[in-house]
Structure 1
Amino acid sequence: MSTQQDRASRKPRRRQRQQDHSADTKEESMPQRATSTSLDSIQIHPRTPKTPRSQSRHVWSSEERAADEVEMSLLEGDERRELGDGLSVEEEQEYLAQHLKRPLSTRDKRAITLLIILYLIQGFPLGLALGSIPFILREHLSYSELAIFSLSGYPYSFKLLWSPIVDSVFFRSLGRRKSWIIPMQLIIGTIMLVISFNAEELMKNPGDHIFTLTAAFTGLVFFSATQDIAVDGWALTLLSEENLPYASTCQTIGLNTGYLLSYTVFLALNSEAFAQKWGIPRLTLSTYLAFCASISFLVTIWLLFVKEDKESTSEDMNIKSAYATMWTICKLRHVQTLLLVHLFAKIGFQANEAVTQLKMVEKGLGREDLAVAVLIDFPFQIFGGWLAGRLSRGPEPLKPWIYAYWPRLGLTLVATLIVYYFPKPPISNAFFLLLIVQTVAQSFAGTIQFGGISAFHTRISDPVVGGTYMTLLNTFANLGGTWPRYFVLKGVDYFSIATCQIGHDFSVKATECVSEHGKAACSELGGECVTERDGYYIVSAICLVLGFLSVIFWMIPVARRLQAVPVSKWRVYS
């Protein structure tokens, strides 16, 4: 018997009142839904695969949805509570508190461990493609050339296009999710192993191999994105209903750990200065790729012995119906609003995320210094992911996402000012401490936002089409941070004015002066690169202004309305 039915049986008077009210407003054949509301918000607990479902699916027509929305909009807060389960606000809060205090079961602990490891595999190629490789290429390429390589991250933002295939095609004997996770991880490991044989040659003259590098890492990101589709869908059935928000915590811990290893840890160990300082061998890209390939193969072998719950394969869906379902989801008004929010939610941070650390290194920050700052930041990211999961379990799942917006924008402005006032090396301890505090605070705010929005996605997604639904939402969330990156990098070069000054009377405008390679070429001519105007500050100002305006007038008010929408309104099946 469901939770709602248990509570109703204990309170026959409230159940009778609910039935009397629903007789005037609902069809008797409609399933009973538990609704918790206040004067500001409505909350309906999400259906999980464990919740009984009728054999026939009822697709809500636009007329039914419109009528239901009109009906709900005409009800006051108290009437909405009566329509739900008759619980008062105090009783509902007590009910939620009892669920939140429940300790994690052994099954949930195992599921969390599995999810963290699977997300870790994604972090390896993403940390290379979006982090360390652009840092290494920066020494040889201009920002415009880096923009070409940045295209390798796009498959992660367009995985929506093939997510219905991942949801609908699988081997029943292997499992709906494992049918995709296992081959994807094998392919990821194989590509990394192949790249490792030629990595040093490719990175020695990256300007001659920029399209080869872009193609190779685009493939890695593509297969990682496909694995992510399956893992996101599996998360909805691995965890119990009350612990579904921890799926975002698993993603935060797993992805951030893999990203950290492939980004800052690798950059530090790859630095010759770091290796000489600590007397250790330099870690080459070839060796690290081989290491990542080995981990991917080992995890895949272990996954063969992990049993996938047969319940997750009980719903058959062909490719056509999967795409039709995705289109039906996209036609939901609230989904359209959320997708639009995702597309523009990260505008304010884009110059900071794409260029700021590159500028710091350009001004003299060593790779090892950057690694130290991020290593200190890592525990705070883990704590932030856990905290976001906890905060998102209440009646306001988007609260951490909303609250973290202002400090994140403010810290972005601080980061721009740090770049502007960056001292000439050597960097003082006080300035380095300021850099660490800013890095930790900004990353913590970003992690809170990421965990909050991921928990919200988990809450509103339907497990029946979990992979497709989660991928639809995550795709637009990722796209919001991906599509502006190309234009930001191009904009830095576009607004920059740099010249190669040769002697006192001769200067040549040289866009290449923004890269170490260009500076070296100018030096060989007996000149010196002079930056008369750095386009980074102009692009950063544009992003910040757009970010502040969108937050004040649109982003946060819309987010508050979205979290008040009942979960049933996010579903296409009753």
Structure 2
Amino acid sequence: MSRHNPRGTTTSLESISIQPRTPKTPHSSQRINGWTPRDGEPIDEMEMSLLNEEERRQAENGLSVEEEQEYLSPGEKKPMSATDKRALGLLTILYLIQGFPLGLALGSLPFLLREHLSYSQLAVFSLSSYPYSLKLLWSPIVDSLFFPSVGRRKSWIIPMQLVIGTLMFVISLNAEEFMNNPAEHIYALSAAFTTLVTLSATQDIAVDGWALTLLSQENLPYASTCQTIGLNTGYFASFTVFLALNSESFSQKWGIPRLRIGTYMQFCAAVSFAVTVWLLFVTEDKDTDDEDLSIKSVYTTMWNICKLKHVQILCLLHFFSKIGWAANDAATQLKMVEKGLGREDLAIAVLIDFPFQMLAGWVAGRWSRGDKPLRPWIIAFWPRLLLALVATLTVYWFPKPPISLGFFVVLVVQTVLSSFAGTVQFGGISAFHTRISDPVVGGTYMTLLATFTNLGGTWPRFFVLKGVDMFTVATCQIKEQGLTVPAAECVSDHGKMACTDLGGECVTERDGYYIVSAMCLVLGCLSVIFHMIPTARKLQAVPPAKWRVL
């Protein structure tokens, strides 16, 4: 393995070169295109002589590329180059691979397991999503170790995708047994998907780092668009499309064979293998810098980033930013399925929502350009909180099945609006991260910020699901004997069967979901008013130079 400094290359998301800086790299004023001036030479004049006519005019006016674009009319803006377009396609496909295991771990499996497990057992399985929020711990290793003959990023992306495909194929061979008796295999299932998510997170580190040196400056905000489109496409293929095709009633209605989870995982493995083979023919620019960059120096640089005051404030902001709709994200759809919403109906609602998510990703990319990249992130707070409240009330007033067409339309509208606001917020914060990140060691800066963004939505999930069971009051009513005895819960097969064996009926007298949802909404509103929005506006006003390590 080799350790070298990353080389700044023109990327396809932005039209400027990004020169990663390390403590050993000379300042840009002393180093131009790999050449260092001799003592006594006029650096300013020499720099100007190396610029083309357009760059010289921008330098004389003291304008950056982004500022210069603001003075151009729409007709004068440079069209996206073919290199940028190819890079956008490459990034989208690489993010797509990540979406397959994430869609299963965070989407489909909780719904398939809900009928057999309690919310506390589902909380155990939810821990499988944590590695995606903790990838910062090993990102410096990914950033430092690589084979020069393969490429800094491909050295990790290729093996990760091969292992992901192989593991999904192996799991598919025993998938039906796992799903038929999930309570007996809950820890094996959790371990298997924890491993899959860990591999996907490692691949994501390399892809994020590649995006910083693959795209150009004016198009860099579209990196978040690639992530939104790619991840959502893979996620919804494993969540929405799979749930619909896996439903027995859906297959009978449309006269198509039911898609088994083992078959689908084999399909995902085949796609992962195919993309990996295609990636072998994609050329990655090789690093030419001879300076040594050890893993220790990368961790040191990461620690220096963490010591920046603005970074600390931003990470703390991310850690609590999603508390308001934590219950909605973790339990609302599970509750709707519990009350009679068919999995195929849920799948149709999310399928209708899918093109709106793609539109939201594009809107966020466009909206985040300029001097207020956090504007969409700030504005989306209130719709997300309001829609979380609406979702809770929808669960409370959920009718007995079959649901009417009018109520289904309400569910679809609610789903579309909620996901649209969430995607706009995600795209806005991703664009802000791209704007302020100093690529000191490739993707480490971006990974640091993305880690706390993901962690803000991940860590509450376990406590929400545990809280639903903790605040729920259930009883087993034995009518023949006129007895009422406490029951642990009335959700899982085990809970219902324990009451049935006593000759009674399991009844939920108080649903802890509403208590947990109310707590999250109150905390969310208070934090948004008194902390989130004021802090975000202050951070947005901080000059980009203040976010740099050097």
TM-score of Structure 1 vs Structure 2, range by shorter chain: 0.7 to 0.9
1:514 Cα deviation from its structure 2 partner: 2.3
1:522 Cα deviation from its structure 2 partner: 2.7
Q: What do the CA deviations read for 1:269-306 (whole angstroms, capped 9, x no partner)?
A: 11111111111111111101100000000000000100
Q: Distance in 2 between matches of 1:366 and 1:304?
A: 42
1:317 Cα deviation from its structure 2 partner: 1.6
Q: Distance in 2 between matches of 1:434 and 1:467?
A: 41
State whether structure 2 residue 331 is matched by structure 1 residue 355: yes
- Of 561, 566, 570 in structure 1, the residue corresponding to residue 538 of structure 2 is 561
Please state whether the residue corresponding to 2:71 is helix, strand or coil: helix
Partner of 2:486: 509
- Of 503, 528, 538 in structure 1, the residue corresponding to residue 515 of structure 2 is 538
Q: Distance in 2 between matches of 1:520 and 1:101?
A: 67
What amino acid maps onto 2:544 in structure 1? V
Given that 1:156 and 1:475 are in contact with CA atoms closer than 8 Å, whether structure 2 keeps it comes out as: yes
TM-score by structure 1 length? 0.84
What amino acid maps onto 2:310 in structure 1? H
Q: Distance in 2 between matches of 1:492 and 1:348?
A: 16
- Of 268, 287, 290 in structure 2, the residue corresponding to residue 292 of structure 1 is 268
Once superposed, what is the RMSD of the aligned Cα atoms? 2.4
Partner of 2:50: none
Given that 1:138 and 1:516 are in contact with CA atoms closer than 8 Å, whether structure 2 keeps it comes out as: no
Counting only pairs closer than 5 Å after superposition, residues 42-191 of structure 1 correspond to structure 2 as: 48-49=17-18, 56-57=25-26, 94-95=70-71, 101-191=77-167
Partner of 2:301: 325
Counting only pairs closer than 5 Å after superposition, residues 443-458 of structure 1 correspond to structure 2 as: 443-458=419-434
Please state whether the residue corresponding to 1:498 is helix, strand or coil: strand
Q: Distance in 2 between matches of 1:566 and 1:503?
A: 70
Aligned pair count?
505
Partner of 2:37: none
1:113 Cα deviation from its structure 2 partner: 0.3
1:99 Cα deviation from its structure 2 partner: 10
Partner of 2:255: 279
1:541 Cα deviation from its structure 2 partner: 0.4
Q: Distance in 2 between matches of 1:489 and 1:51?
A: 42
Q: What do the CA deviations read for 1:500-547 (whole angstroms, capped 9, x no partner)?
A: 211162122222312244224433443212111000000000000111
Please state whether the residue corresponding to 2:175 is helix, strand or coil: helix
Counting only pairs closer than 5 Å after superposition, residues 164-243 of structure 1 correspond to structure 2 as: 164-243=140-219
Given that 1:502 and 1:527 are in contact with CA atoms closer than 8 Å, whether structure 2 keeps it comes out as: yes
Please state whether the residue corresponding to 1:310 is helix, strand or coil: coil
Given that 2:20 and 2:439 are in contact with CA atoms closer than 8 Å, whether structure 1 keeps it comes out as: no
Given that 1:128 and 1:262 are in contact with CA atoms closer than 8 Å, whether structure 2 keeps it comes out as: yes
Q: Distance in 2 between matches of 1:119 and 1:511?
A: 41
Given that 1:148 and 1:214 are in contact with CA atoms closer than 8 Å, whether structure 2 keeps it comes out as: yes
Q: What do the CA deviations read for 1:205-242 (whole angstroms, capped 9, x no partner)?
A: 11111110000000000000000000000011111011
Seen in structure 2, the aligned counterparts of structure 1 residues 395 and 93 have a Cα distance that, compared at 3 Å, is farther
Please state whether the residue corresponding to 1:514 is helix, strand or coil: coil
Partner of 2:369: 393
What amino acid maps onto 1:56 in structure 2? T
Q: Distance in 1 between matches of 2:222 and 2:88?
A: 8
Partner of 2:322: 346
Q: Distance in 2 between matches of 1:314 and 1:230?
A: 21
Given that 1:188 and 1:224 are in contact with CA atoms closer than 8 Å, whether structure 2 keeps it comes out as: yes
Question: Which runs of no fewer than 5 residues in structure 2 stay unpaired?
Answer: 1-13, 29-59
Seen in structure 2, the aligned counterparts of structure 1 residues 206 and 475 have a Cα distance that, compared at 3 Å, is same
Partner of 2:36: none
Q: Distance in 2 between matches of 1:449 and 1:122?
A: 20
Q: Distance in 1 between matches of 2:131 and 2:504?
A: 41
1:313 Cα deviation from its structure 2 partner: 7.0
- Of 241, 248, 259 in structure 1, the residue corresponding to residue 224 of structure 2 is 248
Q: What do the CA deviations read for 1:391-432 (whole angstroms, capped 9, x no partner)?
A: 111111111111111111111100000000000011011111
Given that 1:48 and 1:462 are in contact with CA atoms closer than 8 Å, whether structure 2 keeps it comes out as: no
1:459 Cα deviation from its structure 2 partner: 1.4
Q: Distance in 1 between matches of 2:548 and 2:290?
A: 19
Please state whether the residue corresponding to 2:490 is helix, strand or coil: helix
Seen in structure 2, the aligned counterparts of structure 1 residues 313 and 357 have a Cα distance that, compared at 3 Å, is farther
Counting only pairs closer than 5 Å after superposition, residues 247-266 of structure 1 correspond to structure 2 as: 247-266=223-242
State whether structure 2 residue 496 is matched by structure 1 residue 519: yes
Partner of 1:19: none
Q: What do the CA deviations read for 1:459-513 (whole angstroms, capped 9, x no partner)?
A: 1112342321111111110000111111000000000001121116212222231
Given that 1:232 and 1:467 are in contact with CA atoms closer than 8 Å, whether structure 2 keeps it comes out as: yes
Q: What do the CA deviations read for 1:311-336 (whole angstroms, capped 9, x no partner)?
A: 58776421000000000000001000
Q: Distance in 2 between matches of 1:202 and 1:499?
A: 30
Counting only pairs closer than 5 Å after superposition, residues 452-491 of structure 1 correspond to structure 2 as: 452-491=428-467
Question: Which runs of no fewer than 5 residues in structure 1 stay unpaired?
Answer: 1-44, 60-83
Q: Distance in 2 between matches of 1:401 and 1:58?
A: 34
Q: Distance in 1 between matches of 2:525 and 2:198?
A: 33
Partner of 1:12: none
Counting only pairs closer than 5 Å after superposition, residues 409-428 of structure 1 correspond to structure 2 as: 409-428=385-404
Seen in structure 2, the aligned counterparts of structure 1 residues 286 and 91 have a Cα distance that, compared at 3 Å, is closer
Q: What do the CA deviations read for 1:6-43 (whole angstroms, capped 9, x no partner)?
A: xxxxxxxxxxxxxxxxxxxxxxxxxxxxxxxxxxxxxx
Seen in structure 2, the aligned counterparts of structure 1 residues 157 and 176 have a Cα distance that, compared at 3 Å, is same
Partner of 1:529: 506
Structure with the higher fraction of residues in helix conformation = 1
Q: Distance in 2 between matches of 1:471 and 1:205?
A: 37
Given that 2:392 and 2:517 are in contact with CA atoms closer than 8 Å, whether structure 1 keeps it comes out as: yes
Please state whether the residue corresponding to 2:257 is helix, strand or coil: coil
TM-score by structure 2 length? 0.88
Given that 1:120 and 1:255 are in contact with CA atoms closer than 8 Å, whether structure 2 keeps it comes out as: yes
Seen in structure 2, the aligned counterparts of structure 1 residues 334 and 312 have a Cα distance that, compared at 3 Å, is farther
